[in-house]
Chain A
Amino acid sequence: MLQKLRFAAGALAIVLLVAWLWPRPGELDGETSGGDTLARIRASGVVRVGFANEAPYAFVDTATGHLTGEAPELARLIFRQLGVPEIEGVLTEFGSLIPALKAGRFDVIAAGMYITPARCREVLFSDPTYAIGEAFIVPDGNPLGLHGYRDLRDTPEAVLGVVTGAIQLRYAREMGIPDARIRIFPDAPSAVDGVAAGRVSAYAGTSLTVNDLLSKTDAPLARAEPFEDPVIDGKPVKGFGAFGFRRNDRTFRDAFNQVLKATIGTPQHLELVEPFGFGENTLPGDVTAAQLCGAGHD
């Protein structure tokens, strides 16, 4: 009797476990890529956007489980006008965004990714949606006196932390910081923990990422003030963030750009992005993706 009861309890536990683990509808959806992406997402009403969970650009609000940030909110607005009511986020590491887009894992990169010539060879960019400068996170009091990439280069014991796949690695190299003094972290929180734990002297990120991270942490860290933006090819660099598309999705990208152009800078757009720290002062002006990509690419 007891043995039968034990058997029944065990069987029930296994059935419940399997029921919990069994894939829910949608979890096993395959990805289709190629062909006419715009026509496909218009037909299905859903566009999948890739993001790397970096606040304030594109992140999951853990309180609501909702994808939000500068890029997803703007994407929602624009895709609605393109006749696609719903966006669905696909979360991946920042360094995997481009490979995953190319492999058809999602349709658009909506992560506030900067336009760079190297990335332009891999993907098509929309025109930029914002322009911002750089910043460092350093220990309170900035013990090594690091106020920019140049200071860091000229301080032999200083080590810089950057995030894998992010633009700051290129800035560091162009500014002449040797690779031996650069540490690459998988994500921004790890880099911040790296500064807090003394593994690196500074974390280099965009000024908005830095503000966001500092607002969350209790560790004795601060923004390096004042800060000198890196100067590359004679001009101080600014980052221009945009949406990324597959290279064979040119008509899709062009349709997106058209709506984007009519949206950027409108009161509706500014109201949408102000909660994330963007505003009038981060508008990209009339800079286009073609200018940022350089010759031969757009």
Chain B
Amino acid sequence: MIEFLQTHLPALVGGLRVTLQLTVGGALLALLLATVAGLARRSPSRWLRWPANVYVEAFRGTSALVQLFWFYFALPFFGLSMPALVTGVLVLGLNSGAYGAEVVRSAIANVPRGQWEAGRALNLGERQILFRVILPQALPMMLPPAGNLLIELLKNTALVSLITLSELTFTAQVQRAATLDTVPLFALTLLIYFLVAQVLAVGMRSVEARIARRRGRA
């Protein structure tokens, strides 16, 4: 057991580092894209609405694995060759961002219309209503599905093993090729994913609790 861990754990921790780089980088990009695209999809201007619609439908509607292959193996033929890590963060972020945009859009849509009307009655501008009245109420509704997406993103990073990045899953494959310890090695890999997902889940719940408390005080 000790010997098994000594052989495999250092390599797996190196792989975990890449997995976390992808998760954190992808999540930050996704947060930005989800906010921008989610708001743009509700915009009255078609010049904002249309590009956001195209983005969301294109990235939700095609396979993340194929997108990854395309960005990594096909884009260089059009003169754009990004390092593997950048490609991974970009594709994972674009993908989660597309799902996240729907979370943002639906949470805003779920704030009762009367809130907008009340804002207008108080002579607030549209932007003021959005940022001061609507978003503070929509945010708590976004958090549980956003936590879901974050854990989904963590697990999607395993796809990136197919573009030469040695993240956790790929490292496990390499270790397995050296010793053929298939069963214990994949069991350990599952456990590592599970523990990281638990940390993310607990983190998201504490953010939810904190926002609920702040709202209670306001």
Contacts and interface: CB of A to CB of B under 8 A. Distances in A.
Contacts of A55: 177-178
Interface residues of B, number: 32
Interface centre among B77, B85, B175, B176 (most CB of A within 10 A): B176
Interface string B128-149: 0000000000000000000000
Contact of A53 (B21, B77, B83, B177): B177
A30 B173 contact: no
B166 interface: yes
Contacts, number: 90
Contacts of B164: 90-92, 96, 100, 105
Contacts of B73: 96, 99-100, 102-103, 105
Given A91-B170, A103-B81, 6 more contacts: A27-B85, A28-B86, A31-B76, A91-B166, A100-B164, A216-B179
A28 B83 CA distance: 6
B17 A189 contact: no
B72 interface: yes
A116 interface: no
Given A21-B20, A23-B21, A30 B81 contact: yes
Interface centre among B7, B82, B84, B85 (most CB of A within 10 A): B84
13 contacts: A20-B17, A21-B20, A23-B21, A30-B83, A60-B174, A60-B178, A62-B178, A100-B73, A103-B76, A103-B81, A104-B81, A187-B173, A189-B182
Contact of B24 (A21, A90, A93): A21
A228 interface: no
A103 B174 contact: no
A17 B180 CA distance: 32
B162 interface: yes
Interface in A5-37: 17, 20-21, 23, 27-33
A53 B176 CA distance: 11
A56 B74 CA distance: 30
Contacts of B84: 105
Contacts of B83: 27-31
Interface centre among B81, B85, B163, B166 (most CB of A within 10 A): B81
